Amino acid sequence: MSEPARRPESIAGALGVGAVILVTLLTGVAVIGGRTKSLDPQETLARWFVPGELPFGLVPVEAARQSNGEVLLRLSDPDAPPEAERVEPAADEDDASGDGRGERFDWSAIPIGEAGTPPTEAMLVTWPLSAARKQLESLFESRAPAAQRSLREQSRGQDPLAGLGRQGGRRVLASGRLPWGAFEAPFVHERKFEPGGTFVDTLRVNLSHEEEALVLFLRWPRGLPGSQARAEQLLAALERSAP
């Protein structure tokens, strides 16, 4: 990894997410546990960024160091209303094949909430540099998640939802760079289609630099679309602390 390039160049490198973070982001359930050491959330945030008020009511609520050296900080809006519940498919609608492709399902017709709503959950994750390259590649490199095939499909004029059965799956809706002070940070906006016809949007941003691998994950409530503009608002409030 190298020092973040100034615009219009991108921050070099890219990272991937472990099962603990995926569960937290895609289900909304906090999963910081196991062999961990609890950390002070405010101090952990100040390790990376100049202290200040964050938008959308987000506050640091939980931080820990995993046994493998990962450091996790969860941010949430304590006043956020409960999100919509996941819709469970009826027994006769289950995909008998088990691969999500046994039956056709019109995912383009599912309800999508108001655009431009803010995220209500966020996670900052840093990895030891020895493990960072593999993690970053799995999150941001083009050869990584199968969900990112949808970007190539869109560029060829194909339907990015093609192949999604009743069991759903993941699709990347957008990727590129977001402004972050004097830099541009790579991002990936992904949607998880859930069986029963609901979805959850997440957006991840690579804030890594030469001395640290750091990724921001944002999660929107079920049924509400993610927003790059809202992600930019949060990034504008995250000023890097002096080394």
Domain ranges of the chain: 19-82+100-236
Rounded mean pLDDT, 103-116: 89
Tell me the pLDDT tens digit for each residue of 119-148: 999 999 998 888 888 888 888 875 444 444
Residue 138's pLDDT is what?
86
Q: How far apart are CA 159 and CA 20, in angstroms?
A: 31
Is the model's pLDDT at 194 over the cut of 90?
yes
pTM summary value: 0.79
Q: Above pLDDT 90, what percent of the chain?
A: 50
Residue 25's pLDDT is what?
47
Neighbour count for residue 210 (Cβ, 10 Å): 12
Residue 96's pLDDT is what?
45
Measuring CA to CA, how many Å separate 211 from each of 69, 131, 198, 207, 214?
15, 13, 39, 11, 10
Instruction: Give me the chain's average pLDDT, please.
Output: 79
Rounded mean pLDDT, 79-99: 70
Q: Kindly give, in sequence order, each residue whose CB lies less than 8 Å from that of residue 237, ignoring residues fewer than 6 positions away.
A: 52, 53, 54, 55
Residue 54's pLDDT is what?
97
Residue 157's pLDDT is what?
55
Report cis status (omega within 30 of 0) of the bond before 118: no
